[in-house]
Structure 1
Amino acid sequence: MMTCFQLHQIEEPCSLGAHAGVIVPPSWIIKVRKPQESKWRPFMLKPLPSPLMKPVLVFVNPKSGGNQGTKVLQMFMWILNPRQVFDLSQGGLREALELYRKVPNLRILACGGDGTVGWILSALDELGMTPHPPVAVLPLGTGNDLARTLNWGGGYTDEPVSKVLCQVEDGSVVQLDRWNLQVERSPAQPEEGTQKLPLNVFNNYFSLGFDAHVTLEFHESREANPEKFNSRFRNKMFYAGAAFSDFLQRSSRDLSKHVRVVCDGTDLTPKIQEQKFQCIVFLNIPRYCAGTMPWGNTGDHRDFEPQRHDDGCIEVIGFTLSSLAALQVGGHGERLHQCREVTLTTFKTIAVQVDGEPCRLAPSTLRISLRNQANMVQKSKRRTSVPLLNDPHAVPERLRLRVNRISLQDYDRLQFDRERLRDICECVSIAVGIVVVRGDCDLETCRLYIDRLQEVRTHTDECRGLPRPGSAHRLSPNWSFLDSTSADRFYRIDKAQEHLHYVTEICQEEVFILDHGGLAGGPATGMPDLVVEPNSGFFRGTSLLVRDSTGCSALHLASQHGHTEVVRFILEHGEGDTALHKAASQKHHAVCHLLMDSGASLIKTNFKGKTPVEQARNAGDQELASYLTSKQLPTTVSHEDLETAV
């Protein structure tokens, strides 16, 4: 921008570069004398409307996420007009919004945690800006649940801010429900605690009980010793320790005895007391507690509507300590209600939290009702380069990719020297293997096949009597993709955003992955197995252990559809997984006979606890069920992946 300002002074045109659509041109800014009644605004704006422009107003909270915001602030200052980038630690949020309120097509980028986003949305409400400018999120906080919901990921890694600006400009505008919290003082004798909540509006959730008590301990400790909470990792470690301490003290065990919950006129108190919930959450967005899904997946809703953040309804969920712990491994709470109004009465001082801001609330009556809807920017899934019309080679049907692992040490050393990192990759990377995927495969799907490479290699080595690969050659569980093509350097893709990126966006013939836990290694001693995406045919070297995105192997699919010859081929030429459940549920007698002759297990249960015999009975085939019962055999030997040989 400094170059543009200098060119402007000598009246030479400036294109504003690649981000001209989001930059506030210097010609819009008019310097004014400081009026005596104002101590803040030394300039004013006179925008020239253009349908091609979507100016972005950037607010950065330097204290969010372990003070990561300071570096982000400097990068935006460098790329954009400094007059459109604001440091929230210096104040001026309301003044900045007032200054830019007449700018057409304005978009806002909130760089911080979910609390920073709420702060900005509340300021927009106070100013009554019409139309309400949509707000995008660069997640710098600890939980970042709203950012995850809007596809901005669980935390900023090292993506170039130029890419972030493109995503803000191209993102789609969606609605976000916002909820009022009104507190009425209880006529009972006052106890220890406050009658005022830290926030009277929430965007994510309001909760009381165990989780709020843990958040309160974290908040009080951070206020007392802020220097100890300077990174997301340390913050999460403290949360884990506080949760364990609160679990031992059982401070929320009697929550159900001291609350009354009425949703749209329905009293939920008897059910809450019956199940002895120790935490109650009123949820507006699908994500909670750093990315978990307490309402469950869409297919699990049964008697309820799928959860949305723009439907004017709030979800009420109850948790025991065990169900709270299960959240981290894909579990969910007890779904209690979907409603538009809530009346919550507490009869003792209880820990509560509003969008992560906790307090001890004295006995009160709270009323939750819909406030309004805010415009938000949701990151979209799109290709960075649009294929040419009628060009069959623009998106290849299949991609054959060599997977290269780069250690964290090597990445930190060579991250900004893309060409050098490519040149010496043969020395600093270890080849994980080769995957063949569809041309339109996204990173989330590609991850499944890369993870499978590790399993295939380990299984193959064991079958050959070779020792298991050392830790230096195994990928750590939290590895991440590296974009090696769309910027002038390598950068990480956040795992929560992998479903938004196509493989073709980040690589060509080689895909690079960052192994966060691995050690720097030498060149690979040999190429591991080849993994081919299902439905691509049989290739020499293809493992028959490969599964599709639903977890089905070739043996599963052949058994399910009654392909007896294919089942025989797989049993003769490769190792398979349990398939008898599928064959029995589809009543394929010949396949079941073949599987039994090969030693299939009759006592192994599926994820619903059903045996193959029960599957046959459920399918209404008593003859097949009787046959399988007559073939009951002792337990078969299991492999490490918890599946039997067949």
Structure 2
Amino acid sequence: MYKFFFLINPVSGGGQGKVIHKFLPEIMESMDFKSDDWKAEFTRKEGMDEQILNALASTETLIAVGGDGTVSSVFSIMLSSEYASRVQIGLIPLGTGNDLARVLGLYKPFVDRGLLYLVRRLLLAKSRPFDIWMVNGKYALANYFSAGIDARIAHDFNHDRATGVISSNSVVANKLHYVKRFFADRAYYLKSGRISMIDRDSEFVENMDLTGHKTVIVGNIPSFASGANPFFKSDMADGYLEVVCVPNMLNFLLAIAMGGVPVLGYFLKKYLLKSRKVRSLTLDLADNEYIQLDGEDLSGKVGSRVKIDFATQVRMLSLEE
């Protein structure tokens, strides 16, 4: 049984995963870990689910090295296995948004002090509880889910990357391309939609017509779209989701730009955006609606009805108290 198992996405962050893999032996030896205390593998496109399952079965702590999508793949496998209560999960952020790393206190040390410093800190970190949700009984939701303009942007970004329009793996280049996609897709809105939410008392069901809205955002963590926070008093381990239904572009821009501003952000999220705490929800959308889950494009993969329920709680390594 390994103390640590590193699953490394070799292409994330412009290939920085390969740098981590190269220096891991030196780092682990400097911290008095023996060679049989840990293992590192590059993720594989083919057979990745089996690879994750084997890693979970052979370690006390699995560390995903990559973007939010890499760790989300781990969570999805944990939903259908017995390892949620036994294996701790760590994250070394090499993606574009890195929203989960931000709320776990991992992103700032990474930016300020570098990857190697973060690895050393993470290996000594304590874990904290973290909610995982299930989308249509299949997909794990760790960070957020959305349908609308932001999901359309994510879809077009992923299409551009897959077709070679984006030729760089640079985080900065990716963010600049996201801005370009925003201006290209700014007129998009939900053609039809309805949401049914069970509130925090598990008694009252609230229904809303979302037709014509710019987006609906469902959050598990207080970070969205590379650090924005449109949610009111979000907590990643309280058994609740935060739901923000955004009717127009002005509200969308305010949510992204002003949500984290003290005082102003508080009133914005409570009274203008009206963030709601819910235990579960059902979304009925148009058949061709754009959908994203933890930054990954799910358009056309989950159908027009989306149901989100609590799944389990895991332990995440965190540098936040």
Please indicate the TM-score interval, normalised by the length of the shorter structure. 0.7 to 0.9
- The whole-number CA distance in structure 2 between the counterparts of 1:363 and 1:258 is 14
Identity of aligned residues (%): 24
Work out which of the residue numbers 188, 212, 235 in structure 2 matches 1:251: 188
Deviation per residue, 1:524-549 (Å, 9 max, x gap): xxxxxxxxxxxxxxxxxxxxxxxxxx
SS at structure 1 position matched to 2:83: coil
Query: Aligned match of 1:132 in 78, 86, 93?
Result: 86
Name the residue aligned to 1:98: 54
The equivalent residue for 1:87 is: 42
Alignment correspondent of 1:377: 317
The match for 2:32 is none
Q: Deviations over 1:41-75 (max 9, x none)?
A: xxxx5x7xxxxxxx222121111122221212211
Q: In the alignment, does 2:209 pair up with 1:261?
A: no
Distance 1:284 1:145 in 2: 11
User: Counterparts in 2 of 1:385-400, with a 5 A limit?
Assistant: none
Match in the other structure for 1:346: 285
Matching residue of 2:220: 284
CA distance in 1, matches of 2:55, 2:177: 40
Q: Give the one of 281, 306, 312 matched to 1:366.
A: 306
Q: Is the 8 A contact 2:14 2:168 kept in 1?
A: yes
Determine if the alignment matches structure 1 residue 118 to structure 2 residue 72.
yes
Matched length:
295
Question: What is the TM-score with the length of structure 1 in the denominator?
Answer: 0.42
Following the alignment from structure 2 to structure 1, what is the Cα–Cα distance between the partners of residues 307 and 53? 30
Q: Does 2:23 align with 1:75?
A: yes
Rounded Cα–Cα distance in structure 2 between residues aligned with 1:94 and 1:359? 21
Instruction: For residue 233 of structure 1, give the secondary structure of its aligned residue in structure 2.
Output: helix
Residues 13 and 171 of structure 2 are in contact (CA less than 8 Å); yes or no, is this contact kept in structure 1?
A: yes
Q: Of 1, 8, 11, which residue of structure 2 is paired with 1:63?
A: 11
Could you tell me which runs of 5 or more consecutive residues in structure 1 were left unpaired when the two chains were aligned: 1-44, 48-54, 184-198, 297-305, 382-646
In structure 2, the partner of 1:318 is 245
What do the CA deviations read for 1:582-611 (whole angstroms, capped 9, x no partner)?
xxxxxxxxxxxxxxxxxxxxxxxxxxxxxx
Distance 2:78 2:53 in 1: 8
Structure 1 residue 325 displacement after superposition: 1.9
Partner of 1:151: 105
Between the aligned partners of 2:12 and 2:303, the Cα distance in structure 1 is: 32
Distance 1:155 1:66 in 2: 19
Relative to structure 1, the CA distance from residue 99 to residue 229 in structure 2 (aligned partners, 3 Å threshold; closer, same or farther) is closer
Q: Deviations over 1:8-59 (max 9, x none)?
A: xxxxxxxxxxxxxxxxxxxxxxxxxxxxxxxxxxxxx5x7xxxxxxx22212
d(CA) in 1 for partners of 2:228 and 2:133? 21
Q: CA deviation at 1:348?
A: 4.3
Paired with 1:204 and 1:232, the residues of 2 have a C-alpha distance of 19
Q: 1:217 aligns with which of 126, 131, 156?
A: 156
Kindly provide the amino acid, as one letter, of the partner of residue 214 in structure 1: I
Describe the SS at the equivalent of 1:290. coil
Letter in 2 for 1:323: N
Equivalents in 1 of 2:52, 2:283: separation in Å? Answer: 37
SS of the equivalent of 1:76 reads: helix
C-alpha distance in 1 between matches for 2:146 and 2:110: 26
CA drift at 1:229: 3.2
Distance 1:100 1:282 in 2: 28
Query: Is contact 1:143–1:154 with CA below 8 Å preserved after alignment?
Result: no
The residue type paired with residue 232 of structure 1 is: V
TM-align CA RMSD = 2.8
1:308 alignment partner in structure 2 = 235
CA shift for structure 1 position 131? 4.0
3-state SS in 2 of match to 1:268: strand
Check the 8 A contact 1:261/1:344 in 2, yes or no: yes
Residue identity opposite 1:317 in structure 2: V
Q: Which residue of 2 aligns with 1:177?
A: 131
Change (3 A) 1:324 1:154: farther
Per the alignment, in what secondary structure is the counterpart of residue 73 of structure 1? Answer: helix
**What SS does the aligned partner of 1:341 have?**
strand
Q: Aligned equivalents of 2:148 and 2:56: distance in 1?
A: 41
The one-letter code matched in structure 2 to 1:251 is Y
SS in structure 1 opposite 2:290? strand
CA apart distance, 1:202: 1.1
> Stretches of 4+ moved more than 4 A in 1?
90-93
Does the CA-based 8 Å contact 1:136-1:376 persist in structure 2? yes
Please list, as runs of the form range in 1=range in 2, the aligned pairs for 1:413-492 lying within 5 A after superposition: none
